[in-house]
Structure 1
Amino acid sequence: MRLRRLICICGVVASYGATTAHGADAIVVTLGGRIKEYFVVADQKSAAPTEDLNTAGMFNDVRVSLEGKTVLDNGISVRVYTRFNAVGRKARDVDEAYVDINSTLGRLRIGEKSGTNTSIIGDPVPEAFLTVDEEIIGDALKPRTGIALRDGFTFKRFTGNALGFSLQSPEVLGFRLGAAYHPTLSSAIGLLDKNRNPHNAFDLSAGYDGDFGGGNFRLAGGYFHVASRIGGNDGVSAWNLAAGLAYGGWEASAAYIKSSPANGQQERAWTVGGLYGIGPFKLSAGYRSAKRRLITGGAFLEHVDRTTLQAAYKLGPGISVGLAGFYADQKDALGLTWDSGGALTGVKIDF
């Protein structure tokens, strides 16, 4: 059975190179990156007597990327992409590193981390200034629950920086299909011990993009599963849905995810948001809610609500400044509430 599975996987990879290529365009190398700097002022409750949280803080996101592209004479394009964390506190500085092979069959990505679910859904809701890479609770406010908030509405919340590969179909009549596989959810490399690691994570996703008079809409969703370590209960199954529409300068979208871990700590989350843009100005509003039950049938639920209002102004190509106000209400497993709010401002530069 294992040999049969390996033969099938190798067959998919080999089909991308079935047509002999005798030449290629010159490889084009591009340097890019982004710098995001944020200053925060917030009022949040401290856990006395062990904490005394300051009212001001900063966070940033600085990354540098290298991209190489070429097209073979059989029409297959090859793209290599590497992105580094220029400012970070992690032992590994490489944020992304993968190879894309594009043909009439679709896109094969080797070294995948995020998965096709993330690329098909994109940002769950439109935001004027912040993006899915920034998370207010965690970057600006202290988390008081174990609810997954960063990348909370796509399957990247499970795979993190684990290596894998994915296959995404070309768009046909507005439809796209995608599948991804990660041997494990950890950053382990090489063969792994299934007695110690959750293993064989896969996800299937689909999306549809359509048009209507003066606007467009999109629908997407997927299913994720990873097996528990042998004798353990750290596996998880999940599914999600996302929908959005755009008309003129208006955008609105919503997303929902349900996570069912083997340990019984079920989690549900939903979000809704809207954006209006005119010229260099953008305004947006968003709301999200998430709940997690720590013990099956337990009396208390962990609960997080968060509201954001954002404004941004584009100074020039790739340069934006913005302002955001936010309010969050967190309830931990003991029933204690932690309400907090504040504002942030900053600058974003993409090059």
Structure 2
Amino acid sequence: MRRTVTVGLDGSPESRAAAEWAAREAKLRGLPLKLVNVGEPVPAPTAREPLLGADPLQHGSELSETGAPPAEGWGRIRRESAEGLRLRHPGVEITAEQLPGRPGEVLAHVAEDAALLVLGSRGLSGVGGFLVGSVGLAVVAHAERPVVLVRAGEQAADEHLMDPTGIPSAAAPYRPVVLGLDTDDPDPSLVEFAFDAAVRRVTSLRVVHGWNPPPYYAYGLSSDLELHTELSGQQASALTDLLRPWRQKFPAVEVVEESRYGTAAIHLVDASREASLIVVGRRIRRRPLGVRIGPITHAVLHHSTAPVAVVPHG
């Protein structure tokens, strides 16, 4: 079965931004784009229960938690969105589907047949980062395919370097792809996703590794320059050794290695300001009491200023 780039669409600004990003990604990958709306069926109003002028297309910060718009509302969203996307992204095959159920659960299931699932999140006013709601977090935590979070207002030019006039331009080269990598527990699917994203964008890959010393070293590390230098060299060598076969597999990709002392999440959020895409991982752990995203991925999701791809792995 041919996979698709699938996007959750509910008519909100953030879901429209996600659809634009997904259309660009579908074109890069040569895949179809599927627009999906999910929600519980909305009962028709009765004479005793009027809608009081409420607009059924006014949604919250993400996909609707309470239900989808009526069929005619979704039909209008679908037509307008699909027509606009076809005009702006010629050559991309676009389909649309409406599914009943709870958005978090249904979208995680829909992701199984997708190359990746794209969702929108509200950008934080005045500062960089996302406002990731419960639907987005639920999907990221349960989906077993890559999920990309895109901020409201995200523009194509935001992924690119500045043109000669000093303005970000979609005609300029892409900004680097940034990969957050743990050298103690690397997963091939995560690394390959990041290299593949860099290849498709014809850009460099910036690999960021944050490290902290073992507890028995930590006390004296700040005052022991020799020990700090030794540990830094060990961490940098480990990163180089890990990436060597990937450099050979993707010789066209320029790789920039950064092994930095401190919390990985802080370094990744800082790197997101100059990135076209941040790639982080989530270990799949099936537990009876729920699924965790992980503290680093959770922090990056909320504070990155670039789209974030979360790649689940075993």
Task: Flag whether TM exceeds 0.5 (same fold).
Answer: no
Q: TM (normalized to structure 1)?
A: 0.23
Which structure features the higher share of helix residues?
A: 2
> Higher relative contact order by CA 8 Å / sep ≥ 6: 1 or 2?
2
